[in-house]
């Protein structure tokens, strides 16, 4: 299992052919209090970099992009009633979607944790 | 690169951990611990806001000349009283909204105008009245707002507790002369306090030393005023809107309406009588909040636009203001708002969204 990061502050945790996607603690902190998350439908397909979800904070709306191409196999329904989970546990209970990867090689171009830390510092 | 200005409280904001953003030419605190927590603290206890970016001025010129530019009845403004009023252009378009008060006995008027408009407003007033208008650059302005604001403040400033909503005066705090009004921009009871720049930090530290008071940034200031149904200049009103369209006719004093002697009176009164084609309303919805600029749809046609929108922490959901076709400006009318290409259900709602809790005496 490995965790990769995008420059747009999504994380992607890969287990076999499936990836769990969320936004980083840094992104959650920058957004402030999350009040609504709009998630895609299960079964929807996205290309790498497509707008996949929207996260609304008290400040503004921000798009969440698909870090890799794939088909949505699950969404985090808890966020509907408890969007604050994105702030409380951005890399755990605040996950957004699970994707079935269509091109695992796309992961190679993403940042590892050390590179992401450098990116935000 | 333009230099942003700093208020006399800038260093304190940084020390308190504020996230600083440029706003109306100033480096201002957006938030400290977080917008939601700050919003709720102001509704539950007391919040301290730095609003020193706003324009303060002392007008000692001809009051009849000033009155011609605004919508207040200055002859009825007694010493110790404050009014919310509008600066209008010759067509009745809203150039700004402002507070006019008489805290200095019979020594002229104290004006507080919006930060982004202050240079424009003061130049306009000076040109049209001939002044004198002394722009006050050496005083900070803060607001202490919330249900516990009066307890906190009257313990430090004897007599401040006797003011009721929209009254004002000159007081002393630790030997410093402060101009105080019982008003604000949150819908809560509270005060706006003008303090000499050199003493501003010490006085704000004293206010914050009361455990019930926390510093509040511009983020919560916006969500608080929106829930209270209060307009933000440049968003919910501007020169293309008249008081009739902005549903601010209550700010046009009755004698001024009767005399038809405010700027653009003929046009505004006609529009008011005939009902304007569009007017300002509140709306509520579920899900994602509609933001400024979102289109409003009814039966497939565009019928308006959102001018302010966001999540209302006290309401617990999205709230906003919009201009819509007047026929739709009825509470509970179902509308749709276009968000990222999708029409979302919303409905017209009465404002304020959260009950105003001004102190009007016992």
B223 touches chain A (CB under 8 A): yes
In chain B, residues with a C-beta closer than 8 Å to the C-beta of A32 are: 31, 34-36, 219
C-alpha B281, offset from chain centre = 17
Q: Do A58 and B313 touch (CB under 8 A)?
A: yes
Per-residue pLDDT tens digits of chain B, which is 362 residues long: 468 999 999 999 999 999 999 999 999 999 999 999 999 999 999 999 999 999 999 999 999 999 999 999 999 999 999 999 999 999 999 999 999 999 999 999 999 999 999 999 999 999 999 999 999 999 999 999 999 999 999 999 999 999 999 999 999 999 999 999 999 999 999 999 999 999 999 999 999 999 999 999 999 999 999 999 999 999 999 999 999 999 999 999 999 999 999 999 999 999 999 999 999 999 999 999 999 999 999 999 999 999 999 999 999 999 999 999 999 999 999 999 999 899 999 999 999 999 999 999 97
Query: Residue B1: its pLDDT value, please?
Result: 47
Please, is A16 exposed, middle or buried when counting C-beta atoms within 10 Å of its C-beta (0-12, 13-18, 19+)?
exposed
In chain A, residues with a C-beta closer than 8 Å to the C-beta of B310 are: 58
Q: Give pLDDT tens digits for B334-348.
A: 999 999 899 999 999
In chain B, residues with a C-beta closer than 8 Å to the C-beta of A36 are: 287-289, 311, 318
Q: Can you list the domains of chain B with their CATH numbers? A: 5-53+137-227 (3.30.1360.120), 277-349 (2.40.30.110)
Q: Give pLDDT tens digits for A85-115.
A: 999 999 999 999 999 999 999 999 999 999 9
| Mean pLDDT in residue range A52-68 | 93
Contact B344, B337 (CB under 8 A): yes
Confidence grade of residue A59 (pLDDT, cut at 50, 70, 90): confident
Crossing angle between the packed helical segments B149-156 and B197-209, to the nearest 10 degrees: 120
Please enumerate in sequence order all residues whose Cβ is within 8 A of that of B46, keeping only pairs 6 or more positions apart, or say none: B144, B145, B146, B147, B148, B149, B152, B190, B210, B212, B213, B214
Q: Can you list the domains of chain A with their CATH numbers? A: 2-102 (2.40.50.100)
Interface test with B, best of A37, A57, A58, A63 (most B CBs within 10 A): A58
A36 touches chain B (CB under 8 A): yes
Phi, psi angle pair for B50, to nearest 5°: -90, 115
Mean pLDDT computed over every residue of chain B: 97
HSE value, Cβ hemisphere, 13 Å, CA-based, for B341: 1
Nearest to A67 by CA among A107, A120, A28: A107
Q: Do A59 and B219 touch (CB under 8 A)?
A: yes
pLDDT(A1) > 80: no
Strand partners, A45: A71
- CA–CA separation, B249 vs B269, rounded Å? 9
Nearest CA in chain B to A58: B311
Tell me the whole-structure pTM to 2 decimals.
0.94
A59 touches chain B (CB under 8 A): yes
Query: Residue B2: its pLDDT value, please?
Result: 62
The answer to whether the bond into B352 is cis (omega within 30° of 0) is yes
Query: Residue B252: its pLDDT value, please?
Result: 98
* A·B CB contacts under 8 A: 38
User: ipTM beyond 0.90?
Assistant: no
Paired tokens of B224: 């608080």
Please enumerate in sequence order all residues whose Cβ is within 8 A of that of B336, keeping only pairs 6 or more positions apart, or say none: B296, B297, B298, B343, B344, B345, B346
**Chain B: closest CA distance from residue A111 (Å):** 27
Query: Residue B299: its pLDDT value, please?
Result: 96
Query: Residue B59: its pLDDT value, please?
Result: 98
Q: Do A32 and B219 touch (CB under 8 A)?
A: yes
B312 touches chain A (CB under 8 A): no
């Amino acid at each position: 299992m490995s965790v990769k990061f995008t420059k747009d502050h999504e994380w992607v945790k890969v287990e076999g052919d499936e990836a769990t996607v969320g936004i980083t603690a840094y992104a959650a902190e920058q957004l402030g209090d999350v009040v609504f998350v709009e998630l895609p439908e299960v079964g929807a397909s996205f290309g790498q970099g497509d707008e996949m979800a929207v996260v609304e904070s008290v400040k503004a709306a921000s798009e969440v992009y698909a870090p890799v191409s794939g088909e949505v196999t699950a969404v985090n329904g808890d966020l509907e009633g408890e969007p604050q989970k994105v702030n409380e546990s951005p890399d755990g209970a605040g996950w957004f979607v699970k994707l079935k990867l269509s091109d695992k090689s796309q992961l190679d171009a993403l940042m590892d944790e050390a590179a992401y830390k450098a990116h935000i510092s | 690169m333009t230099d942003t200005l700093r208020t006399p409280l800038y260093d304190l904001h940084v020390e308190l951990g504020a996230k600083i953003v440029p706003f109306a030419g100033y480096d201002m605190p957006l938030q400290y611990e977080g917008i939601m927590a700050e919003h709720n603290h102001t509704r539950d206890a007391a919040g301290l806001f730095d609003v020193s970016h706003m324009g303060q001025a002392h007008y000692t010129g001809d009051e009849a000349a000033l009155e011609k530019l605004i919508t207040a009845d200055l002859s009825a403004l007694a010493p110790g009283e404050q009014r919310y009023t509008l600066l209008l252009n010759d067509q009745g378009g809203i150039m700004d909204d402002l507070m006019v008060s008489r805290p200095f006995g019979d020594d002229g008027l104290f004006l507080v105008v919006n930060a982004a408009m202050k240079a424009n407003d003061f130049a306009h007033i000076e040109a049209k009245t001939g002044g004198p208008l002394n722009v006050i650059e050496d005083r900070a302005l803060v607001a202490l707002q919330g249900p516990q604001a009066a307890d906190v403040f009257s313990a430090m400033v004897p007599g401040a507790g006797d003011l009721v909503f929209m009254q004002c005066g000159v007081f002393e705090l630790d030997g410093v002369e402060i101009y105080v009004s019982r008003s604000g921009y949150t819908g809560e009871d509270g005060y706006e306090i003008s303090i000499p720049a050199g003493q501003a930090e010490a006085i704000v530290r004293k206010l914050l030393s009361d455990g019930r008071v926390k510093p509040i940034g511009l983020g919560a200031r916006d969500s608080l005023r929106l829930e209270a149904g209060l307009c933000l200049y440049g968003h919910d009103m501007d020169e293309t809107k008249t008081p009739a369209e902005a549903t601010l006719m209550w700010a046009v004093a009755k004698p001024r309406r009767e005399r038809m002697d405010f700027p653009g009176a003929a046009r505004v009164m006609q529009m008011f009588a005939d009902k304007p084609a569009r007017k300002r309303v509140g709306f509520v919805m579920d899900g994602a909040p509609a933001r400024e600029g979102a289109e409003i749809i009814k039966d497939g046609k565009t019928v308006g636009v959102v001018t302010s929108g966001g999540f209302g922490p006290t309401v617990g959901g999205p709230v906003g203001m919009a201009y819509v076709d007047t026929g739709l400006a009825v509470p509970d009318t179902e509308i749709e708002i276009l968000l990222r290409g999708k029409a979302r259900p919303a409905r017209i709602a009465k404002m304020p969204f959260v009950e105003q809790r001004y102190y009007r005496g016992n």
